[in-house]
Amino acid sequence: MWNKEFMHPYIPNSVPEVRERMLEEIGVKDIEELYNEIPEELRFKGAMNLPEPLTSEYDLKRHVEEILAKNRSCEETVSFLGGGCYRHYVPAICDEINSRSEFLTAYAGEPYEDHGRFQALFEYESLMAELVDMDVVNVPTFDWCQAASTALRMACRITKRAKVLVADTISPNRLSAIRNYCHPVVAVGLIGHDPETGAVDLSDLQAKIADDIACVYFENPGYLGFLETAGETIADIAHGSGAICVVGVDPITLGILKPPAQYGADIVCGDIQSLGMHMFFGGATAGFIATRDEEKYVMEYPSRLFGIAETSVPGEYGFGDVAYDRTSFGVREEGKEFVGTAAALWGITAAVYLSLMGPQGMFEVGRTILQKTRYAMKRLSQVGGLRVPRFEAPHFKEFVVDFNGTSKTVEEINKGLVSKGFFGGQDLSREFPELGEAALYCVTEMHTRKDIDGLAEALSGVLK
């Protein structure tokens, strides 16, 4: 089937007559001649062992859908999973905009023919800036792992120090990525936590802070769901020894909770997946970094920063790259870390989300989440043998359920829950062995009272 006459819909110049004319123009007889710079010994003589192609669009669709049908999605099963990937409601217009051909298939055009891309991302930066109450926000990076890693490296460059302190309740996966990103240039130390509240152990922080520490990093809410209530004290301690305060935050909390910049954060980072992205098996992440508009901070970003400017026509807005020569695009290894394709379309999607929500929407979604989370904690605490929440602290949308008072493991419990139509919270027994049998539960505005009551009943059943 694959002779020269075969026409694949994605390859227009397969038509023999067209090929002949093009070869004639080039002045060669065969396409093979165009490869004559590749030595014989490098030529691949075998055949790639790939499945037979499904050239019919319908056959292809059916094939992939048959594989995907083996998944059981969170539309079919009530999920209480969170831990960095969240099922929040995605307004229809978010998907409408991010599936537009113009945005979906644009890449690296100039601010002239891609004015809309620049403006949309400038607006993303601007909307996020209001949410986090800071004046500079980057074009998104890959995810929170990358945003936090870069925030720590930025702090080291700004302070000219090479050690950072991280609150040890951070997601172990994020910590793994941070450690690899910092090694061997930056040393990552951990700060302990209060076993009852989860909050940063201030005496441990006091003991470890020193004049060679570049920054202190903590998250609010913490990975384990509790709120860190002593943010200002932590920031003061960091500042007291010339260190920078870096705070990771879930931006969907910020319609209700105080933005970290207002309690002393100098760099704020996190993931925008909550703001209009579906979960996509954890693949729709995008990291943000925010700072004050100070040259010493701005010049340490590795990311693209789209700025606004005037044009030769009065009243017209134009856009472009702020301080491009700090980037690796500008000066290769002399630039700040590296920059490249990351997650721009999710930034545009978050811009749509924040524009739709407005201040009132962000307040209301936060309030609904708080109410439903509190309700869920209350309901689950009535299930025999459970300690809910595990940490004595205020919570936003996640909380740890302690199952040590039951005779079952989280693994057993979650298997039992699946058969009853629920994805139970994430098993923490490997990530935080000191918690024993515990799971991280997440409640969003998407859950109904029926979902939560159903979970409580199912848990009672499983634990019987």
Query: How many C-alpha atoms does 239 have within 13 Å on its Cβ side?
Result: 11
Least Å from the CB of residue 207 to another protein:
25
Least Å from the CB of residue 249 to another protein:
12
Judged by CB under 8 A, the stretch of 38-46, 207-215, 383-391, 399-407 that binds another protein is 38-46
Count of Cβ atoms closer than 10 Å to residue 119 Cβ: 18
Q: Which of residues 293-352 bind another protein (CB under 8 A)?
A: 293, 295, 298, 304-313, 316-325, 328-333, 335, 337-346, 348, 351-352
Least Å from the CB of residue 376 to another protein:
9
- Identify the three-state secondary structure at position 275: coil
Which CB, 207 or 258, lies closer to another protein? Answer: 258
How many of the chain's residues bind another protein (CB under 8 A)?
217
Give yes or no for a contact between 252 and 365, defined as CB atoms under 8 angstroms apart.
yes
Query: How many C-alpha atoms does 127 have within 13 Å on its Cβ side?
Result: 27
Q: Which of residues 182-241 bind another protein (CB under 8 A)?
A: 183-185, 227, 229, 231-232
Least Å from the CB of residue 462 to another protein:
14
Give yes or no for a contact between 393 and 464, defined as CB atoms under 8 angstroms apart.
no
Give yes or no for a contact between 217 and 236, defined as CB atoms under 8 angstroms apart.
no
Query: SS3 string of 313-356?
Result: CCCCEEEEECCHHHCHHHHHHHCCCCCCCCCHHHHHHHHHHHHH
Residue 294: C-alpha distances to residues 39, 64, 139, 298 (Å) = 54, 50, 17, 6
Least Å from the CB of residue 401 to another protein:
15
Q: How far apart are CA 336 and CA 427, in angstroms?
A: 37
Judged by CB under 8 A, the stretch of 11-19, 190-198, 208-216, 382-390 that binds another protein is 11-19
Q: Does 179 bind another protein (CB under 8 A)?
A: yes
What is the longest distance spanned by two Cα atoms in the chain? 82
Asked if the bond preceding 221 is cis, omega within 30° of 0, the reply is yes
Count of Cβ atoms closer than 10 Å to residue 258 Cβ: 13
Least Å from the CB of residue 406 to another protein:
19
Give yes or no for a contact between 219 and 168, defined as CB atoms under 8 angstroms apart.
no
Rounded to 5 degrees, φ, ψ at 428 are -100, 0
- Give the rounded distance of the alpha carbon of 245 from its chain centre: 21
Q: Does 169 bind another protein (CB under 8 A)?
A: no
Q: How far apart are CA 66 and CA 105, in angstroms?
A: 27
Task: Identify the CA nearest to 353 among candidates 458, 278, 283, 266.
Answer: 278
Q: Does 256 bind another protein (CB under 8 A)?
A: yes
Least Å from the CB of residue 270 to another protein:
12
Q: Does 432 bind another protein (CB under 8 A)?
A: no
Q: Which of residues 142-161 bind another protein (CB under 8 A)?
A: 142-146, 153
Q: Does 420 bind another protein (CB under 8 A)?
A: no
Query: Binding residue for another protein (CB under 8 A) from 195, 282, 384, 461?
Result: 282
Q: Does 112 bind another protein (CB under 8 A)?
A: yes
Which CB, 207 or 228, lies closer to another protein? Answer: 228
Judged by CB under 8 A, the stretch of 242-250, 400-408, 415-423, 454-462 that binds another protein is 415-423
Give yes or no for a contact between 460 and 383, defined as CB atoms under 8 angstroms apart.
yes
Query: Binding residue for another protein (CB under 8 A) from 196, 258, 381, 404?
Result: 258
Judged by CB under 8 A, the stretch of 115-123, 211-219, 233-241, 242-250 that binds another protein is 115-123
Q: What mask of x and - would describe binding to another protein in positions 352 to 391, judged by CB under 8 A? A: x-xxxxxxxxxxxx-xxxxxxxxx--x-------------
Which CB, 159 or 223, lies closer to another protein? Answer: 223
| DSSP summary character for residue 7 | -
Which CB, 131 or 244, lies closer to another protein? Answer: 131
Query: Binding residue for another protein (CB under 8 A) from 5, 36, 407, 433?
Result: 36
Q: Does 137 bind another protein (CB under 8 A)?
A: yes
398-402 and 438-442: which strand pairing?
A: antiparallel
Which CB, 126 or 241, lies closer to another protein? Answer: 126
Which CB, 96 or 236, lies closer to another protein? Answer: 96
Least Å from the CB of residue 340 to another protein:
3
Q: Does 135 bind another protein (CB under 8 A)?
A: yes
